[in-house]
A and B are shown apart, each in its own frame.
Chain A
C-alpha cells in the first residue's frame, strides 16, 4: 500500500505537473503583489479626497464635558497594559484586555490646537452627526470645523438661514477677486519685475564693457530713464493690487466652534466650504472630483501639507521629456557608431562592457557627478562666457532643470545604447546588402533602411529610460529639485522655457511631504495621493511609448530574424 502511494507520488512528480503548479504559483504571487501594492496606494490616496462625515463626540466628565467636532481619520486597538501605562487609568473593567481609540481631525489649528486628537472609545459619551456642521478650507492654518454663525458682506451681516446663500455668494466673490490678484501678480508684476532685472543687468554690462566714458555715461542715462518708466508702472500696478486686496475688507465669516467659542475668518483666507453631513451622494461625488482637480491644479500651501501638487507634476513631466530629448539622439548615435562603424575588436568590446556597467552605478553617484561637472564646471563656464553681468549671482552655475535632465540622460544612456545595438544586430545582412547593391552609400542605407527598421528597438530603450528616470529622486536633489519652486520652468516671459530654473518633482515631493513635514497626520494621505499620481504619470508615459512602438513593430513585422 505504502509503496504504491510513493510510486503514485513519484509518477506525479515525473509528469511535470508540480512544475506547472509551481510556475502558476509564482506568477500568481507576483500578480497579487502588484495588485496589493497599487491597491493599497490607490485606496489610501483616493480616499483622502472623499468628503468624510463630520462627527461630534461628547467626552470628558459630567462637570467638565469636552465636545469635539471633526472627521474620523483612523482607528486602532492597543493592549490594556500599554493603555494603563500611558494614561495611569486603572478603572477599566476586569475582563477588558484591549482598548480601541479613534483619530479625529478637529482642524482649527491656530485657535484650538492640536488639529488631530486620539479619543478612547470607552470615554465617548455620545456621538452624533450634526447636519449643519461645516468644513472651511483655508489658505492658512488648514481646515476649520464648526457651525456657520454669520456672514459679513461688506457692511451687512447675515445670520440664520440666509447665511448659507450669503456664504455661497461670498465664495464666488472671493474666487473672482483672487483670480484678479493672481493675474496681476503673475502676469503684470512679474513681467515688470523681469524688465527691471534685465535693465539692472544691462547697466552692469555697460559698466563692464570697454566703451569710452562719455559713451558709457549716455548709455547709463538711457537705462536709468527706461528704468524710471518701468518703476512708475510698477508703482501703479502695486497700487492697483493693494486696491484689489482692500476690497476683501469687511468680508468675513463667523464660525461657532464645537466648544461654543466663536471665531472670525477673513474671506480672503477661504478657499471653499462644504457641509458633508447634508450632502447627497451626487453632491459628495461632485465634491470629490473637484477635490481631485484642485489637488492636480493648485500650488502647494502650508509647507506642502495642504493644497495641490501642480508644480511637481509639471516639473516631473518636463524633466522626463527633456531627458528623453537629450538621451535619444545621444544613445542612438553612440550605438550606431559602436555597431556599424567601429572595428569590432577588443577595444569596442571593452567599451560595450563599460557602457553596460554604467547602468549599475548607484544613481546618487550620477548626482554627485552632475553637480561637480555640469553645475560647477560647465555651468560656471557658461556664466563666465554668456552672463558675466549677473555674476556673482549664478545663472547656469547653479542646479536647475537643464542639469537635472542632463544628469538623468547620462544615467539612462546605457539603456538606450544597449537596446539600440540589439535592434541593429537583429536587422538581417541581406537587407543591408540589398540597399548597398542598389548604389546606396552606407550612410544612405543607415538612414533610409536600417534606422527605420531599428526604431521599435530604439523606442524600447527610450521606454526603459523614461521608466527609470521618472522614478529617480536621489541624483535630482543635488542637481535641481527643490522643496518649493516659486515659478514654473515654463511661462510667458522670454525665452519661455527657463532651463536654468529649479523645479519641483513628484518623487522628491513624496519624500518631502512624508519625512520633512511639520504636520505628519495631515501629510500622510498626501503621500499616498502623490505616489499614486507618480505611478499614473510613469504608466501614461510608458503606455504612450509602448503604443508607438507596437505600431512601428506592426509595420516592420516579417523582416526581422
Chain B
C-alpha cells in the first residue's frame, strides 16, 4: 500500500488547514461513569484522520458523537462543544436528521437493508425527497462508482443486497452513505469483519474518497491506520493522549504511552 504523504509532515501545518470538525473540551458520561475526558482536537478537511487505542478507550464513542448517534442511548450526558464547519452540532436548533445527512457513517458490520441494491443506495435520497426519477438513477450510478462497486453490480441492481458478499456489502453501505453527499464520512472499523482482499479494496477506496470527503476512521489495526491515514489520534481510557501526523505517531511518538501501545506493550 502507498503510505500517506498528504503534506502533513508536522503538527503546525495541520493547524493551518481549514478545519472540518472542531472538538472543544468534550466530555461524555454514561450515567455516572465518564467515557470521554475533556477531549479537544481539530479534524482537517479532506484528510483521513484515524482514531486508535485499546478496546474501551472511547474512540468509537467519540466517533459517534460527530453524527449524534449517542442520542439513541439512554442515560448519556455530554459537556463541551463539537463544531462542524463552525456550527455547534449539539445546539438546540440543529435538526439531527439533517446533521446526519452531512455526516455519513459506515459501521463495523455491513448493514444493508433487505431491499434491492438500487433501493439501498437510493434510500437516503428518497428520504430526502425531491430527487426526480432520472436523477435518482444517475446519483445511484455515481455513488456505486464512487464506492468502486458499479462494475460488479450494474447488471443486478434489482436483486437483493443481501445476496452480495461481505466486502461488497460494505462497499454498498459506503455507496449508500456517499449518495446523500455528506461532507464528512465516519468509518467505524469498516474492515474488521472482512477478509484481507476485501480489506484491501476498502483501504484503496478510502484513499480515493479523501479527495472529496473528510474521513474519520476508527481502527484496531495499526498497520491499517499507518497505511490509510494522514493524521492519527491515540486515545487511552477516555483521554486523548496524542494527536499528530501519522508518520510522526508511528515513527517518533512524543508520549511514552503512545510508544508503548504502538510497539505492542499493551492493548
Contacts and interface: CB of A to CB of B under 8 A. Distances in A.
Given A433-B107, A434-B173, A558-B162, A439 B127 contact: yes
A438 B114 contact: no
B176 to A, nearest CB: 7
B100 interface: yes
Nearest to A554: B160
B94 interface: no
B111 A438 contact: no
Contact of B177 (A343, A431, A438, A449): A438
Contact of B72 (A430, A433, A452, A558): A433
Interface string A442-453: 001000110011
A558 B104 CA distance: 25
B98 to A, nearest CB: 7
Given A437-B69, A438-B124, A559 B114 contact: yes
A342 interface: no
Among A433, A439, A444, the most chain B Cβ lie within 10 Å of the Cβ of A439
Contact of B113 (A431, A437, A439): A431
B109 interface: yes
B110 to A, nearest CB: 9
The 8 lowest CB-CB distance pairs between A and B, nearest first, are A439-B101, A430-B111, A438-B124, A437-B105, A434-B111, A556-B114, A558-B162, A439-B100
A139 interface: no
Interface string B105-149: 101010111100000000110111000000000000000000000
A415 B258 CA distance: 56
Interface string A411-434: 000000000000000001011011
Interface of A: 343, 428, 430-431, 433-441, 444, 448-449, 452-453, 555-559
B111 A439 contact: no
Chain B contact-residue range equals 20 to 34
Contacts of A436: 69, 72, 100
A437 B177 contact: yes
Interface string B171-194: 001001100100000000000000
A344 to B, nearest CB: 8
A7 to B, nearest CB: 52
The dominant DSSP class at the B interface is: helix
A433 B173 CA distance: 12
Contact of A555 (B101, B104, B114, B124): B114
B27 interface: no
B127 A440 contact: yes
B162 A438 contact: no
B111 A431 contact: yes
Interface of B: 67, 69, 72, 74, 97-98, 100-101, 104-105, 107, 109, 111-114, 123-124, 126-128, 160, 162, 173, 176-177, 180
Given A433-B69, A559-B114, A559-B162, A438 B123 contact: yes
A431 B114 CA distance: 9
A367 B177 CA distance: 54
Nearest to A441: B97
A450 to B, nearest CB: 10
Contact of A557 (B113, B162, B177): B162
A154 B112 CA distance: 80
A428 B104 contact: no
Contact of A434 (B113, B126, B160): B113
B66 to A, nearest CB: 11
B162 to A, nearest CB: 4
A438 B107 CA distance: 12
11 contacts: A428-B111, A434-B111, A434-B173, A436-B100, A437-B67, A438-B101, A438-B123, A438-B124, A438-B127, A440-B127, A448-B127
Contacts of B111: 428, 430-431, 433-434
A438 B126 CA distance: 11
Contacts of A444: 127
A438 B109 CA distance: 16
A434 B127 CA distance: 13
A453 B114 contact: yes
Contacts of B160: 555
Given A433-B69, A434-B173, A448-B123, A439 B114 contact: no
A431 B110 CA distance: 9
Contacts of B114: 452-453, 555-556, 558-559
Contacts of B180: 438-439
Nearest to A445: B127
Given A435-B123, A436-B100, A555-B160, A449 B107 contact: no
A438 B176 contact: yes
Contacts of A434: 107, 111-113, 173, 176
Contact of A439 (B69, B98, B112, B162): B98
Contacts of A430: 107, 109, 111
A349 to B, nearest CB: 15
A438 B69 contact: no
A453 B115 CA distance: 10
B113 A435 contact: yes
Among A436, A449, A453, A558, the most chain B Cβ lie within 10 Å of the Cβ of A436
Contact of B97 (A439, A448, A559): A439
A319 to B, nearest CB: 35
B204 to A, nearest CB: 23
B136 to A, nearest CB: 15
B91 to A, nearest CB: 18
B193 to A, nearest CB: 11
A23 B38 CA distance: 63
B249 to A, nearest CB: 28
Contacts of B127: 438-440, 444, 448
Contacts of A440: 97, 123-124, 127
A449 B127 CA distance: 12
Contacts of A343: 74
Given A437-B104, A439-B180, 8 more contacts: A434-B176, A437-B67, A438-B104, A439-B127, A448-B126, A448-B127, A449-B113, A453-B114
Contacts of B176: 434, 438
Nearest to B123: A438
A108 B102 CA distance: 88
